[in-house]
Amino acid sequence: MAIKNVPKAIALIPDGNRRWAKSHALSIFNGYSLGVNKFIDFTEWCREYGIRSISVWAFSTENFSRESSEVKALFRIYKNMAKDRGILARLHKNKTRLRVIGNKALLPKDLLQALQNVENQTKGYTERTVNMLLGYGGKDDILHAAKSFARTARKISSLNNEFFKNYLLTSAIPDIDLVIRTSGEQRLSGLLPWQTSYSELHFSKKLWPDFTKRDLHAALLDYNRRQRRFGK
């Protein structure tokens, strides 16, 4: 069935990499590596449907509480991804911009430098954007905005929704039409609280490395069955 109503902006929580690795007797490193490669494929599937903005939760502030070896392994995968010429070539081919969003002070400098290099090389593209949420937490984003506003010494009476959004770390991310979360978990865990207030939610039982283009199609069909009223 054709997709008539394509969401302009989607957000993804690619959950289940560790469980997938364990079920296949592989290391967590292997699970996350496959998950990153799957996401690159995912961005190209989205391009084929005409989706212009993809926000992926790559690493939350809460994830820092995991074993340090796991955190370091995941950061190493992201750094390798950023230095992979094949992946960069695919971004150029698809005219896709990479934008890294989060508390960058929490990230290793070598990782940040590698990702910023990709950001700089793709910043001229406007057709589609991949927002990589790294060292990101929804509550932290709201708190950051509140503190930033307070430092401006503006009167509270001047504050409105659009003005406040400018202080968010995620201010460049548009309102999300559709959120997809894999692995059967049915919660947002603080993902983009400002942008997801009227998002449609799709929860897939598939672990992220098993997610396919057909599963994305099913999510978009599900989205097309929704009637979005926005409180009206």
Catalytic residues: 15, 63
Query: What is the Cα–Cα distance from 200 to 196, expressed in whole angstroms?
Result: 8
Tokens 């989607």 sit on residue = 10
Task: State the amino acid at position 173 in one-letter form.
Answer: I
C-beta neighbour count of 140 within 10 angstroms = 18
Token pair in block for residue 198: 């009227």
- First vs last Cα of the chain: how many Å apart? 29
- In DSSP terms, 201 is beta-bridged to 179
Residues in the chain: 232
Tell me if 130 sits within 8 A of 51, measured CB to CB.
no
Write the CA distances from 10 to 17, 120, 153, integer angstroms. 20, 23, 35
Q: Coil, helix or strand for 201? A: strand
Query: What is the Cα–Cα distance from 199 to 192, expressed in whole angstroms?
Result: 10
Nearest to 99 by CA among 85, 119, 75, 121: 119
Task: State the amino acid at position 231 in one-letter form.
Answer: G
